[in-house]
Structure 1
Amino acid sequence: MKIQFFVFFIFIFVFVFVGCKKEETASIVKFETKNMSYRDAEINKKVYAINSEITNDKIMGIWTTGESRNATFEIKSNSIYYVDNFKDYRYELNNDTIEIKYSDYTYRAKIFLKNDTLIMKSKEYSLAKYWRFKE
C-alpha cells in the first residue's frame, strides 16, 4: 500500500511540475492599440514594442517578404509600387491603419513598425511581415 501511495505521489508531483512549466521565450506576439488586442502567430520569438505614431516618412522605402532576392514593393509618399506587377496603387495612412486601394477592392490593415520590420494585420490575410530591402 505504501508503494502504491509513493508511486501515486511521484506521478502527481511530475504531472504538476510539467503542467506548470513556465515558458522561457515569448512565442506569442501581442499587439495592443487603444481599441484592439491581437494575439497572433510567432514572430522571431520576440514581443515587439510598437511605435505609437506611424507616419508616411517612417514606412516609405523598399520592402521585401524575404521569399526571394527581389523587393516586394516600394512605399512612396502616396502610392505603393509592386515590383512583380509593375503597378502603383494609392494608399492612405490613418494613425495605425493603412488602406491600399486596388482596382477591385480596398485592403485595410493595422500596421506596426519596429526598426526595419513592417507588420500588417488584416482580417482577410491575417499577419504579413516585411523587412526593409537592403541591396
Structure 2
Amino acid sequence: MIKTGTPYLYFYDECNDALNYYVDIFGAEILEKSTFEDVEYMEDENRKDCIAHASFKLGESVFLANDFLEKKSKDKHSESSLISIWLEIEKDTDIKLLEEKMLATGSKSITRLEETFWDSLYTKIEDKFGIIWELNAQR
C-alpha cells in the first residue's frame, strides 16, 4: 500500500542553519530552498529569511524541512526529539569521522560509538537542533 515515506523535519527558526550543518557534516545536497519572503508569507518581517520549504538529499534519501509557520518557542516543547533518523554508513572510518564532526559542533552523544550484537559499528547522536541521528556501519 505505502509507496514511499519521506522524513519531514521542523525547526524553530533554525532550518537554514540546520541545512548548512547537514551539508557540512553529512555532505547533504540541497535540492530546493524557499524562504517565507520567497513564498510571500510575511506575517512577521523579522522572520522573512525563515525557510518555508526545503528538500535535501543524504545518499539516495530525500528529506523535507522547514521552519514552523507560526512563531513557536522551543521552551514550550519537549527537550527530547520524537524522531530519529537511521543512516547506513559505508565504512568504519566514515562513521568515526561523522561522530567526531558532530560532537565537535555541539551535538551530544546518546550512545557512544561501539560494536554491536548485529555486527555493526553504531552510534546515536542528538544534533544541536534536537534531531537524533543513528549512524550504523554494517560489517
- Note whether the superposition's TM-score is higher than 0.5: no
Q: Which fold has the larger relative contact order, with Cα–Cα distance below 8 Å and residues 6 or more apart in sequence?
A: 2
Higher helix share goes to which structure? Answer: 2
Q: Of the two, which has the highest radius of gyration? A: 1
